[in-house]
Copies of this chain bind each other. A is one copy, B any other.
Amino acid sequence: MKYIEKLRNSGLRPTKQRLQICEVLFNSEKTFHFTINELDQKIKKQASDKISLATIYNTVHAFEKKGYLKQIPINSNQTYFDTNISDHHHFYDLKEEKLIDLENADVGPINILKKINGKKIKSVEVLVKLED
Contacts and interface: CB of A to CB of B under 8 A. Distances in A.
Interface residues of A, number: 38
How many monomers of this chain does the complex have?
Answer: 2
Interface string A60-80: 000000000001111100010
Contacts of A116: 91, 93, 100, 130
Contacts of A102: 112, 114
Main secondary structure of the interface of A (DSSP, over half): strand
Contacts of A72: 75
Contacts of A118: 132
A108 B109 contact: yes
A71 to B, nearest CB: 5
Contacts of A94: 122
Contacts of A91: 114, 116, 119
A128 to B, nearest CB: 5
A15 interface: no
Interface of A: 71-75, 79, 91, 93-94, 100, 102-103, 105-114, 116, 118-132
